[in-house]
Amino acid sequence: MSHSNHRRPPRIGDAPAFKYTLLALVLVLVALVVVAPMAVIGVEAFSRGVPYFLQTIADADTRHAVLLTVITAAIAVPLNTIFGVAAAWAITKHDFPGKRLLTIVIEIPFSVSPVVAGVCYLFVYGLQGLFGPALASAELKILFALPGIVLASMFVTAPFVARELIPLMQAQGRDLEEAATSLGASGWRTFLSVTLPNIKWAMLYGVVLCNARVMGEFGAVSIVSGNIRGQTNTLPLHIELLYQDYNAVGAFAAASILAVLALVTLVVKVLLERQGAGRRNRPQTLAGVQTTSEIHS
Q: Could you give the CA distance from residue 275 to residue 200 in angstroms, rounded to a whole number?
A: 10
What's the pLDDT score for residue 9?
A: 62
Q: Flag whether pLDDT at 292 surpasses 60.
A: no
Residue 63: how many CB atoms within 10 A of its CB? 13
- DSSP label at 35? I
Structural domain contains residue 287: no
Burial class (CB in 10 A: 0-12, 13-18, 19+), 272: buried
Structural domain contains residue 11: no
Q: How confident is the model at residue 133 (pLDDT cuts 50, 70, 90)?
A: confident
Structural domain contains residue 120: no
Q: Could you give the CA distance from residue 285 to residue 179 in angstroms, rounded to a whole number?
A: 18
Structural domain contains residue 149: yes
For residue range 69-106, what is the model confidence (pLDDT) as tens digits?
999 999 999 999 999 999 998 898 888 888 889 889 99
Q: Flag whether pLDDT at 154 surpasses 90.
A: yes
Alpha helices by DSSP H, the chain: 16-30, 36-45, 50-57, 60-93, 99-111, 114-125, 132-137, 146-157, 159-172, 175-182, 187-190, 196-216, 219-225, 235-244, 248-275, 282-296
Q: Flag whether pLDDT at 67 surpasses 50.
A: yes
Residue 6: how many CB atoms within 10 A of its CB? 5
Q: Flag whether pLDDT at 157 surpasses 90.
A: yes
Structural domain contains residue 124: no
What's the pLDDT score for residue 185?
A: 77
Q: Could you give the CA distance from residue 247 to residue 47 in angstroms, rounded to a whole number?
A: 12
Q: Could you give the CA distance from residue 90 to residue 195 in angstroms, rounded to a whole number?
A: 13
List the one residue out of 53, 60, 77 whose CA is nearest residue 259. 53
Q: Could you give the CA distance from residue 146 to residue 233 in angstroms, rounded to a whole number?
A: 10
- The residue-averaged pLDDT of 138-155 equals 91
| Full domain range(s) for residue 52 | 30-111+145-277
Q: What percent of the chain has pLDDT above 70?
A: 88
Structural domain contains residue 129: no
Q: How confident is the model at residue 283 (pLDDT cuts 50, 70, 90)?
A: very low
> Do the Cβ atoms of 261 and 148 come closer than 8 Å?
no
List the one residue out of 146, 161, 152, 157 whose CA is nearest residue 82. 161
Structural domain contains residue 163: yes
User: Based on the structure, what is the number of domains in the chain?
Assistant: 1
Q: Could you give the CA distance from residue 229 to residue 233 in angstroms, rounded to a whole number?
A: 6
What's the pLDDT score for residue 6?
A: 57
Q: Which residue has the higher pLDDT, 271 or 115?
A: 115
Pick the most confident of 12-21, 75-84, 282-291: 75-84
Residue 265: how many CB atoms within 10 A of its CB? 17
What's the pLDDT score for residue 280?
A: 44
What's the pLDDT score for residue 146?
A: 93
Q: How many CA atoms lie within 13 A of 263 on its CB side?
A: 11
- The residue-averaged pLDDT of 213-241 equals 90
Q: Could you give the CA distance from residue 227 to residue 222 in angstroms, rounded to a whole number?
A: 6
For residue range 165-190, what is the model confidence (pLDDT) as tens digits?
999 888 888 888 778 878 877 778 88
Structural domain contains residue 203: yes
What's the pLDDT score for residue 281?
A: 43
In CATH, what number is assigned to the domain containing residue 172?
Answer: 1.10.3720.10
Q: Could you give the CA distance from residue 70 to residue 251 in angstroms, rounded to a whole number?
A: 18
Q: Could you give the CA distance from residue 263 to residue 215 in angstroms, rounded to a whole number?
A: 13
- The residue-averaged pLDDT of 236-257 equals 90
Cα 91 to chain centroid distance, Å, stands at 21
